[in-house]
Amino acid sequence: MLSKTDKSPLQIVRIFELRLLSMIGYAPWVSSCTECGSTVFDSMCFSFLKCGFLCTKCGEKDKGALRISEGAAKALNYIVHSKMNALFSFEVSGNVLEELGRVSQRYMRDRLEKNYNKLDFIKTLTV
Ligand SMILES: [Zn+2]
């Protein structure tokens, strides 16, 4: 994928991380708030305790939950649920990509119980 596309390597890595975790059984719940079922994507947090979204109201109880933008919430939902052949066919802004990184890196560390550094070479690429 890295060699065949003009997509940002970081975007590919974030998608790969999140999708791989989903495939091995650690799919985060990113369709709605894990507590109340709200689907208002412009006010979601990502809860590492709940392994998924919490709306602003439910998120108040989880101090470690990370506030995310609407773009990041939609991107997470897309990455976890889209068909494989459509997985890389979307664009995200640099800010959203940073948010995805914060979520996926921590989520991956929590789930796998170790740091995963194999893809760190991506940081050395200039894009
Ligand atoms: Zn809620």
Dist. CA 54 → ligand 1 center (Å): 5
Domain count, the chain: 1
Q: What is the pLDDT of residues 11-64, one digit of tens each?
A: 888 998 999 999 999 999 999 999 999 999 999 999 999 999 999 999 999 999
Q: Residue 53 C-alpha to ligand 1 middle, in angstroms?
A: 8
Cβ–Cβ < 8 Å for 68, 45: yes
**Ligand 1 mean position, distance from CA 82 (Å):** 23
Q: Is pTM beyond 0.85 here?
A: yes
Q: What is the CATH number of the domain that holds 104?
A: 1.20.1440.120
Task: Identify whether 3 is part of a domain.
Answer: no
Q: How far is the CA of 68 from the centre of ligand 1 (A)?
A: 14
Spatial separation of the C-alpha atoms in residues 105 and 88, rounded to whole Å:
19
Distance 44 CA to ligand 1 centre (A): 9
Say if CB 8 and CB 97 are below 8 A apart.
Answer: yes
Coil, helix or strand for 68? coil
Q: Which residue range forms the structural domain that includes residue 115?
A: 9-122
Is residue 127 very low, low, confident or very high in pLDDT (cuts 50, 70, 90)?
low
